Amino acid sequence: MSAIKIGVIGGSGVYKIEGIEVVREHTVSTPFGNPSSEIIEAKLNGVTFFFLPRHGKHHSFTPSDVNYRANIFALKELGVEYLISVSAVGSLKEEYPPTTFVVVDQFIDWTKGKRERTFFNNGFVGHTSVAEPVEKELQQMIVDACKEVGVKHGVGGSYICIEGPQFSSKAESNIYRSFGASVIGMTNVPEAYLAKEAGMAYASIAMVTDYDCWKEEHCTLEEIMKVMATNNQQAHAVLKKLIPKLNGNLFSFKKENTYSVLSKPEKMTADQERMLSVLMR
C-alpha cells in the first residue's frame, strides 16, 4: 500500500494544471474489471497524489459506461483515503449561475438502475450508511480554498444524479427543482456511495456550466464547453490550494464501512477476501 493518501477524480483537464509533474502511471486490475484509465501519480507543489480521469483519458466513457466500482477500488488499493471529486453540473437554482462552484453535501440517485452501485453482491454481503455521503471536514477545506482564490461558490445542497447522456427535458428539470436540489449531474452517484463503502473521506466540487433547461435560455454543447474552460482554470487554482493544505492536515474521520460486512471470512472466495482486505483498510 502506498503512502499517498490523496486522490482526485475528474475530467482529463484536471491534470493539465500549470506546475504539475506526472511521476508515473499505475495499471491496476480489480475484481470489477478495469478502471477508466491508468491511475496517474502526480506531484503538485511538492505534494504527491493520485489522479483518475473519470471518463478515460480521451473521454471515451459515457456517465453510464464508467466503471465506478473499478475506479474507487483501484484508488483505494493504491492507498487513497481522501477523495476529491471534480465534475460539471447544471444549476437548478437562480443563485448559482455558470462558473459557480457548489460544494454539495447530499446526493439524490435518479439513475435508471444500469449502474453497479455497491461492492456487496454475489455472496459478499454488507450494508453501509450513506446518510452523510460527504465528509464535512474535507468539504470545509474545499470551501476555504474557493474563498482563498476568489471563486464564487455555494455551500451545501443536493446534487441530483441522472442517467444521461441526454440532458433533461424542461418537465424533468422542473421536477428536480421541486425536490429542492441545487445542481444536476450524471456522475457522482454511485461514486460517492462507493467511496463510503470503501472507507474514504469524499467531497465533491460541482462546477456549474449552465442552468439546465428550466430557465428560458437555450444552451448548446458549444456554449457549455466555453464555460468549462473557465471552470477548469478555476478548478486548477482551487486544487493548487487544497491539495497541499489537505496533505498537511490529514484529519481523522469515521469510516462508515467499519461494521458493514455480514459475510463470514471463512466462507469467502479469494476475490472476496481481496475485496475485504482493500475496502476495510
Whole-number Cα distances in Å, 77 to 3, 69, 94? 11, 12, 41
212 is catalytic: yes
Closest CA to 8 of 191, 253, 279: 191
7, amino acid identity: G
Dmax over CA atoms of the chain, in Å, equals 60
Distance, first Cα to last Cα, the chain: 10
CA distance 247 to 254: 18
Q: In terms of DSSP H, where are the helices of 15-77?
A: 68-77
Q: Is 210 a catalytic residue?
A: yes
Identify the helix (H) or strand (E) that includes residue 223: helix 221-247
Q: Which of 105, 109, 144, 212 is catalytic?
A: 212
Spatial separation of the C-alpha atoms in residues 84 and 202, rounded to whole Å: 6
Active-site option among 65, 105, 144, 210:
210
Cα(270)–Cα(276) distance, integer angstroms: 10
How far is residue 153's CA from residue 20's CA, in Å, rounded to a whole number? 25
Point out which residues pair with 21 in neighbouring strands.
43
Closest of 191, 240, 199 to residue 43, by C-alpha: 240
Report the residue count for the chain. 281
Active site members: 210, 212
